[in-house]
Amino acid sequence: MSPEDVPRLLQGKIFQNVYMCAKCGYELFSSRSKHEHLSPWPAFTGTIHDDSVAKWPQHNQPDAFTTVSCGKCGHGLGHEFLNDGPKRGQSRLRIFSSSLKSIPKGNKSASQGK
């Protein structure tokens, strides 16, 4: 559980946002895997589904990072930085906020795009 979940739990309900592909609406990330980072872009440690994103390693780049796109429609999402997560061994997925739609889990409007 991340620290930002605590005040929400104290309010009596677990509040969880789901981040979807802005193009096709596929579920990509949960706010549970979101973490703060110095960069202005949203950062995640993992995806909701195993096939939420497709990864395209950039072998010709000096830093170990991977281009990440939507696993469903191929919409470009951002990059994964290997071993740059909040814990040792975790990756940091830096996603462009313009590539995501955020909705509260359980919201009926979440069915759009399916």
| Shortest distance in whole angstroms from residue 100 CB to Zn ion | 10
Residues of this chain that interact with Zn ion (CB under 5 A) are 21, 23-24, 26, 70, 72-73, 75
Nearer to Zn ion among residue 19 and residue 65 (C-beta)? 19
79-95 in b/e burial notation, b at 16+ Cβ within 10 A? bbbeebbeeeebbbbbb
| Shortest distance in whole angstroms from residue 28 CB to Zn ion | 8
| Shortest distance in whole angstroms from residue 22 CB to Zn ion | 8
Nearer to Zn ion among residue 54 and residue 64 (C-beta)? 54
Q: What angle do CA 46, 5, 40 make, to 5 degrees?
A: 55
What is the maximum span of the chain, computed from C-alpha positions, in angstroms?
49
